[in-house]
């Protein structure tokens, strides 16, 4: 998102007493702003994207969040690559709308480890 010109901030926090992570409004890990547009990012493993969609859909906060200038996108991270070759981190992006999901594609660009 930063490479695309977005102002980003990690809004997920570690709760040391409960030993769990707390997301902003229960579903936002990273908040991104560009002009008048605000994107809430939920980050997860590649195999957990559908569970995150179900979680977000079940939350009243996420329904209230969605507006013309506010979006929710899930980033599902997984190592991908041909059999027998080095695997690279790839990000699958799915946008959650009020009535459906949109597959935004998959970034197959190698991601440096320090940005994960």
pLDDT tens for each residue of 77-98: 999 888 888 889 999 999 999 8
Confidence of residue 102 (pLDDT cuts 50, 70, 90): confident
30-34 and 37-45 as β-strands: parallel, antiparallel, unpaired?
antiparallel
Above 50 in pLDDT, residue 10?
Answer: yes
CA 66 to chain centre: 15
Contact 46, 35 (CB under 8 A): no
Quick one: which of 42, 60, 63 has its CA closest to 51? 42
- Average pLDDT on 39-55 reads 95
Among 97, 114, 111, 99, CA closest to 46: 111
pTM above 0.85, yes or no: no
The CB density around residue 46, as the number of other CB atoms within 10 Å, is 16
pLDDT at position 107, please?
60
């Amino acid at each position: 998102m930063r490479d695309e010109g977005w102002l980003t901030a990690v809004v997920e926090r570690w709760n040391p007493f409960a030993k769990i992570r707390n997301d902003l409004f229960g579903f936002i890990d990273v908040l991104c702003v560009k002009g008048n547009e605000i994107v809430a990012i939920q980050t997860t493993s590649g195999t957990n994207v559908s569970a995150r969609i179900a979680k977000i859909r079940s939350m009243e906060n996420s329904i209230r969040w969605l507006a013309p200038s506010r979006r929710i996108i899930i980033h599902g991270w997984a190592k991908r690559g041909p059999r027998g070759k080095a695997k690279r981190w790839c990000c699958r992006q799915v946008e959650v709308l009020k009535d459906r999901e949109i597959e935004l594609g998959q970034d197959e660009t190698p991601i440096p480890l320090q940005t994960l």
